[in-house]
């Protein structure tokens, strides 16, 4: 099975409710879809969102990096040479992790199709059912409490609460949600770099002494402030998870060496795809550090790939934050991973099992 062409499309899916973090507000998921054609007629699908404030990738940069740097190296390659292809992708251009991720996802999809097996089985197997949390956007306290209660009613047992705005209000937000859900859901906080190290320690100590038990706090400080992250990790009981501070295997090694965080959030858009997500998980596992599998605002094309990795690496990826598809108003993809609120299950369809993408607008060069 040889790669003959790489094509692009745009996929727009409205969100059920605006996605608000300390960094941005988004109302529509608008992602680049990558389609890799092969000489036997099969198509591999990948996807990448623009996350300018996190990875630096934009729609234009994703398409340009693939069209001019990655695609020319891949045309003519045999899909069975997976390691060679991922190496070609990773060395094609510096950074541009979302562009690399979109292409790798499509290549792994084809690799699964080539051998007629779902991707997670080729990655080592696992229990094909996982449970995700859901994001509660940062907002007025009453709105966040109402959103949290609605999520619990929908069956979500873990809530990822976005904070990181005004520290005093943040503490009140979390207290109010904790009181409202009353033990019916685990609470994960994501400050999205919104606090200083001292503010984070103050907020967490205040919450801890008020009896608010948190499963973890994510990225309390600026991405580059690894010292600050260590400062927080050393001083609070709540486990600290690194997100924007850690992209791939090299950052994970540094972070572990410094004992700067307790948990790592792996996202395909940060690692540059599946090959380095696996490396990152393996490095963490070697050091006894657990991981979360997360995603950006993505639909069920690229999130399916993350699901397959999470299933295959579930011994170290102990937490799942793959709520992209459940935040979307509709699911544009008919495929092999079934997203049903908090429960995600994988069928035995080969590769990612994507049969059809509704509303995809092809982009012509
Ligand atoms: Mg995060």
| Gap between the Cα atoms of 88 and 230, Å rounded | 35
Give distance in angstroms: CA of 222 to centre of ligand 1.
12
Q: Where are the alpha helices (DSSP H) in the chain?
A: 59-65, 71-74, 82-90, 97-115, 119-122, 141-153, 167-181, 197-209, 226-235, 249-258, 268-271, 274-286, 302-312, 324-327
Whole-prediction pTM value? 0.98
pLDDT of 149: 98
Return the exposure string of 61-89: e unless at least 16 CB atoms fall within 10 Å of the residue's CB, then b.
bbbebbeebbbebbeebebeebeebbebb
pLDDT of 262: 98
| Gap between the Cα atoms of 205 and 201, Å rounded | 6
Domain architecture of the chain: domains with CATH: 3-116 (3.30.390.10), 121-356 (3.20.20.120)
* CB neighbour list of residue 305: distance below 8 Å, 6 or more residues apart: 46, 105, 108, 109, 119, 268, 274, 352
Give distance in angstroms: CA of 109 to centre of ligand 1.
26
Give distance in angstroms: CA of 165 to centre of ligand 1.
14
Give distance in angstroms: CA of 347 to centre of ligand 1.
28
> Active site residue: 20, 267, 270, 313, which one?
267
pLDDT of 72: 98
| Gap between the Cα atoms of 132 and 265, Å rounded | 14
Question: What separation in angstroms does the CA of 111 have from each of 45, 86, 90, 231?
Answer: 11, 12, 17, 43
> Active site residue: 100, 121, 160, 162, which one?
162
Give distance in angstroms: CA of 198 to centre of ligand 1.
19
Quick one: how far is CA 104 from the chain centroid?
15
Which DSSP category does 351 fall into? B
**Residue 336, both tokens:** 């092999």
Question: What separation in angstroms does the CA of 162 have from each of 139, 170, 173, 269, 323?
Answer: 9, 9, 10, 20, 14
Instruction: Tell me if 208 sits within 8 A of 178, measured CB to CB.
Output: no
| Gap between the Cα atoms of 16 and 196, Å rounded | 32
**Residue 92, both tokens:** 């094609």
Judge whether 313 counts as a catalytic residue.
Answer: no
Exposed / middle / buried, residue 60 (Cβ in 10 Å: 0-12, 13-18, 19+): exposed
pLDDT of 75: 98
Mind listing the pLDDT tens digit of every residue in the chain (365 residues)? 999 999 999 999 999 999 999 888 999 999 999 999 999 999 999 999 999 999 999 999 999 999 999 999 999 999 999 999 999 999 999 999 999 999 999 999 999 999 999 999 999 999 999 999 999 999 999 999 999 999 999 999 999 999 999 999 999 999 999 999 989 999 999 999 999 999 999 999 999 999 999 999 999 999 999 999 999 999 999 999 999 999 999 999 999 999 999 999 999 999 999 999 999 999 999 999 999 999 999 999 999 999 999 999 999 999 999 999 999 999 999 998 999 999 999 999 999 999 999 999 999 87
| Gap between the Cα atoms of 192 and 24, Å rounded | 10
Question: What separation in angstroms does the CA of 243 have from each of 22, 49, 220, 240, 250?
Answer: 14, 17, 9, 10, 14
| Gap between the Cα atoms of 346 and 339, Å rounded | 9
| Gap between the Cα atoms of 9 and 357, Å rounded | 10
Sole residue written with tokens 């965080």? 261
| Gap between the Cα atoms of 365 and 18, Å rounded | 32
Of 106, 95, 105, 33, the closest CA to residue 63 belongs to 33
Give distance in angstroms: CA of 242 to centre of ligand 1.
8
pLDDT of 365: 74
Quick one: how far is CA 31 from the chain centroid?
14
Judge whether 162 counts as a catalytic residue.
Answer: yes
């Amino acid at each position: 099975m040889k790669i003959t062409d790489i094509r692009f499309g745009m996929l727009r899916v409205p969100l059920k409710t605006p996605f608000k973090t300390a960094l941005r507000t988004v109302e529509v998921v608008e992602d680049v879809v990558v389609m890799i054609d092969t000489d036997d007629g099969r198509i591999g699908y990948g996807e990448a969102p623009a996350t300018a404030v996190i990875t630096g990738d934009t729609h234009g940069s994703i398409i340009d990096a693939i069209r001019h740097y990655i695609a020319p190296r891949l045309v003519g390659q045999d899909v069975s040479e997976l390691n060679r292809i991922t190496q070609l992708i990773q060395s094609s251009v510096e950074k541009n992790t979302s562009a690399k991720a979109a292409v790798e996802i499509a290549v792994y999809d084809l690799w699964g199709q080539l051998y007629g097996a779902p991707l997670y089985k080729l990655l080592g197997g696992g229990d094909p059912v996982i449970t995700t949390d859901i994001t509660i956007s940062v907002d007025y306290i009453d709105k966040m409490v109402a959103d949290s209660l609605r999520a619990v009613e929908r069956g979500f047992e873990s809530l990822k609460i976005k904070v990181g705005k005004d520290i005093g209000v943040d503490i009140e937000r979390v207290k109010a949600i904790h009181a409202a859900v009353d033990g019916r859901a685990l609470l994960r906080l994501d400050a999205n770099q919104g606090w200083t190290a001292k503010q984070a320690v103050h907020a967490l100590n205040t919450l801890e002494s008020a009896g608010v038990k948190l499963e973890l706090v994510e990225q309390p400080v600026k991405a580059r402030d690894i010292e600050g992250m260590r400062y927080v990790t050393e001083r609070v009981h709540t486990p600290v998870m690194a997100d924007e501070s850690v992209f791939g295997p090299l950052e994970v090694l540094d972070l572990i060496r410094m004992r700067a965080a307790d948990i790592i959030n792996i996202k395909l858009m940060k690692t540059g795809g599946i090959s380095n997500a696996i490396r990152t998980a393996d490095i963490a596992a070697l050091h006894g550090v657990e991981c979360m599998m997360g995603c950006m605002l993505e639909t069920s094309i690229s999130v399916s790939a993350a699901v397959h990795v999470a299933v295959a690496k579930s011994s170290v990826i102990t937490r799942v934050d793959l709520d992209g598809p459940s935040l979307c108003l509709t699911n544009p993809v008919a495929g092999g991973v079934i997203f049903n609120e908090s429960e995600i299950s994988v069928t035995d369809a080969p590769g990612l099992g994507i049969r059809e993408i509704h509303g995809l607008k092809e982009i012509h060069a």
